[in-house]
Chain A
């Protein structure tokens, strides 16, 4: 079966990050030791997750296991659960987090004062711990607790950059997040009341009994609606996304990359687990929640891009594009089939690799233009920082869905998934319109960056990109091409993971 070492990896990775968060304030501040510690710990966890993934899939069949916390047996104790999908998501989250940190190493130093950088590292460790816990947990109340830890850490990494604008953005983000987590808590209490369990599989059994006997259908629908709405607010599904551009646009580059690429994804994966593991796809269809999610996803794909068209600040434009991309993921979840959920998970991974790259690239370019963030100020910056320029171009092509780039792979799999479904016309039309809209705002950005601008280029006094920036950007680019060209093995792996979720 599974060896003891691999068996303990889910718990150890969460625990190591918690310990790192606790000892970070005790470290000396010189040589940027706290940040290096965070990077090393996240790197080790990435390696451990890769090993876990290897152990779970190498035998040819997809293994999964439950890890009882404190060794209390199932209906009473708290559990973690790991399968191929959880392992691959943990791996991607760790890699994207590590690259967001190393790629923005120098811009973090400019934006955040040295005495606050230590706090920033504590928050990053806690944020990663909460993301991994949301990925692995099999207990709904534990999920709630980590959602709240995630909220505090995510709002705090917005506010950690000094300045009144970030405090306002963080407060707006915090208020919307608290509405979301309040709804989640009410829903979890209702579900606990209805089923008598907090572990996901036991809840699933109790809900099946409720549905077959047609009892308590109204409270069940209400709790599903509340938990979906709460998590949708936190993952910035369109009508609830007004907080996102402020928070992602005003924070430091590393925070924007982490928030857009990872924090939204933790909540979306929690929704997927609740749909799949707690309710089951038939019950979701019976209660009509798949249609609601599907329509909101379509709306988000179009409206996110429309809002992005209006932006003149490059970071806000990329932030609004995240809203559209979250719409793609919810479209896949709303299809309510294994293929749809697998395509949604692939898009989670693709977006977790591209969006941090775009934010890192935009940070590098606006740094080259003397910290100006307006789109026009970036004219000709490609020739100052070619690595960042390449990142923006490849990211933009990926977002438009040009074949060979990562975004194409996930869009293709979303289309293939929707062919099995009666709503195929709607999803294909929305994908087409959204791709055109993506092109409408990313192509001008690419043209601006590539246009020669002799007058302004003389004034660019930015230092050359650091080695860590180049290496991170190289890995981002490599990941992007890997996902774009060789996505089928990954998609098969995800489908196997979804089947044992």
Chain B
């Protein structure tokens, strides 16, 4: 068991990191901490993909010169470029999602002055009750 973990230490680290990220995203009440959790989770997946895509002793998938003016074309010399491509795509996705989440958080903070979603719900109901109370008072004033 421990041997396998040590052998695949990158993957083990990725699993632990994604666990930390997921717990933060689900359980933290503060939105900024939630978004940090999201980024930790995404980064863990990139670590996993990068670790899987790397084969010791092979070169990046860019043609190498073979010394006599030609190119090395054997596929066994290079690593598979797809995992790196997936990491890049994933980074783009996570950047845009993070930007959108932060923009919404900013909006929420402007409306309620808090970064906590539950707190925002409480303040929203308070505001509505105040508003209704004011409307009632106004109506009573008109009636009297």
Contacts and interface: CB of A to CB of B under 8 A. Distances in A.
Interface stretch (B42-50, B54-62, B63-71, B131-139): B42-50
Interface stretch (A100-108, A173-181, A209-217, A419-427): A173-181
A110 interface: no
A182 B14 CA distance: 13
Contacts of B41: 182
Contact of B121 (A159, A168, A170, A189): A168
A151 B38 CA distance: 14
A168 B117 contact: yes
A189 B86 contact: yes
Nearest to A188: B86
Interface residues of A, number: 28
Given A167-B111, A168-B108, A168-B124, A175 B45 contact: no
A145 B89 contact: yes
Interface size class of B (residues with CB under 8 A): 20 to 34
B86 A141 contact: yes
Contacts of B34: 175
A171 B117 contact: yes
Interface string B20-58: 011001100001001000100110010011001000000
A164 interface: yes
Contacts of B112: 164, 168
Given A175-B34, A182-B41, A189-B48, A148 B108 contact: no
B93 A164 contact: no
A374 to B, nearest CB: 13
A182 B38 contact: yes
Nearest to B25: A179
A109 interface: no
Interface string B107-138: 11001100001001100100000000000000
B89 A171 contact: no
A174 B97 CA distance: 9
A179 B93 contact: no
Given A165-B124, A168-B120, A179-B25, A152 B104 contact: no
A186 B18 contact: yes
A155 B105 CA distance: 13
A179 B25 CA distance: 7
Nearest to A164: B111
B93 to A, nearest CB: 5
Nearest to A198: B82
Given A148-B93, A189-B45, A178 B38 contact: yes
Contacts of A167: 104, 107-108, 111
A171 B104 contact: yes
A144 B87 CA distance: 13
A175 B108 contact: no
A182 B98 CA distance: 13
A174 B100 contact: yes
A148 B97 contact: yes
A193 interface: yes
B101 interface: yes
Interface string A124-155: 00000000000000000100110010011001
A172 interface: yes
Interface centre among A145, A156, A172, A186 (most CB of B within 10 A): A186
A148 B91 CA distance: 12
B122 to A, nearest CB: 11
A185 interface: yes
A193 B11 CA distance: 11
A155 to B, nearest CB: 7
Contacts of B21: 182
A167 B21 CA distance: 24
A186 B38 CA distance: 13
Contacts of B117: 168, 171-172, 175
Nearest to A176: B26
Contact of B93 (A145, A156, A171, A189): A145
A179 B52 contact: no
Nearest to A163: B111
A186 B120 CA distance: 31
Given A178-B38, A179-B26, A186-B45, A171 B97 contact: no
Contacts of B90: 185
Given A165-B124, A178-B97, A170 B38 contact: no
A164 B127 CA distance: 11
B96 interface: yes
Given A155-B104, A164-B112, A171 B96 contact: no
A167 B96 CA distance: 18
Contacts of B86: 141, 189, 192
Contacts of B45: 182, 185-186, 189
A170 B104 contact: yes
Given A145-B89, A172-B117, A152 B22 contact: no
A156 B101 CA distance: 10
Nearest to A190: B48
B107 A178 contact: no
Nearest to B96: A152
Interface of A: 141, 144-145, 148, 151-152, 155-156, 159, 164-165, 167-168, 170-172, 174-175, 178-179, 182-183, 185-186, 189, 192-193, 198
15 contacts: A141-B89, A156-B100, A164-B108, A167-B104, A168-B108, A168-B117, A168-B120, A174-B100, A178-B25, A182-B18, A182-B22, A182-B38, A183-B22, A186-B18, A189-B48
Return the 8 tightest CB-CB contacts between A and B, nearest first.
Answer: A164-B111, A167-B107, A148-B93, A171-B104, A182-B41, A167-B108, A168-B120, A193-B52
Given A174-B104, A189-B49, 4 more contacts: A148-B96, A174-B100, A175-B101, A175-B117
